Structure 1
Amino acid sequence: MFHFRGPSHIGDRLVLKAIVNNAFKHSMEVGVCAEAYQGGEPLRHINSAFMTFEVLDSDRKPSTLPRIRPEPVDGKRRYQEAVARKKIRLDRDPYLIALRSVTLPTHPPTEDYTRGEVLCAGFTIWEESSTVTKITYYNQATPGVLPYISTDIAGLSSSFYSAFSACSHFLEVNKDTLAALPPSAL
């Protein structure tokens, strides 16, 4: 989970702070706070991220983690929020991955290059059954990108097909190895 609270700007210095919020049986949630500043100005909280890490032993099997004792007040709050986020993740059907490009006024288009912008793009990953996962790609771009897509739609789709085909081939070749891993490690 990522929570974008504000932008960073060119020239900002970033301060990243990480802390283990909670340890579960085989995984832990790590919270990261990103703050930015320039010169002598105060820190601005620009991003919070919550990541889950599974800990594996030397045989790539889940390790049992020791229980943690949260610190009073903020530590206890982070501990309880991590439990809630884990429940949200476990209850989730599809996974959504979204992105967009940005334009910078300090780097305007040049004559030698045509520039387009991805307004919104991403993937949805949906488990159809225990053996089939449906991945759908979405892309919304500015009109400047359209000529490149419309003149070579077969090339674009064959590029995606090649990437997904390679992933599928890898999974088939390694299915026995991957089957031994717990689902959360994949």
Structure 2
Amino acid sequence: MTFMVLDENNHHCILPRIKPEPGDGERRYREAYARRKIRLDRKYVISCKQSEVPLSVPWDPSNQVQLYTLEDSAFLSFKLDIMVTVNAKQTFNLLSDLCRRKQWDPFYKECQLLQQVNEDDAIYHVISTVPSAEGKPQDYILLASRRLPCTTGDPYVVAFRSVSLPTHPPINEYSRGESLCSGFCIWSEGDKTKVSYYNQFTPGLVSQVTTNIAGLSSDFASTYQACERFLVENTKDSAGDVNTPEP
């Protein structure tokens, strides 16, 4: 069942958190969360024909990564928001350096810069800590693109997606994973900074992500608490990375 409460202006109200009754009530509550996870998995499988088209695109200097926050029924995506006390410029500098992500993200085991395309675009080889269905370590070839705000109120953007490089084809040691679209949008909000992380589902992530969304795991919470600590502890390192005025 779906419950909805409207106020006097016909706007949605936020319902308080449900507290299931002990015993059967708690059991039914957990079963409902499990059914929600199954629906998320099914929606992904039905909506994305991953087996028909490759996720990686041939690398070409004219490629541009664009990040959209508009929901589309053809894709299943997720977003995470955190607030940090580090200013937006320093947060942008730290999160756009993919080689440092393993310092806070347990998904990253190793990361190597393969090609610095220009000041704002780079290609990395990432080795994941999460094995594939075959039990092999997964690796990724990722294009990382960062963009400064165009005008006041716009976010800093750091976007990632898989590309294919002829010089780095898949090898037997790893199972080549693919990332369709992910990244960060970073806004200044008074004396704090809002960081939003977006990701479109891919086969290698669907089980991990839907488990977290269903509330059956605290991986997301612990990961982004580690991200916040990383930002706070490394602000001095990033102060001069990007020579641009604050928007």
> Which bracket does the TM-score occupy, shorter chain normalised?
0.3 to 0.5
Structure holding more strand per residue: 1
Q: Which has the higher contact order (CA 8 A, sep 6+)?
A: 2
Q: What's the TM-score once normalised by structure 1's chain length?
A: 0.38
Q: What's the TM-score once normalised by structure 2's chain length?
A: 0.30
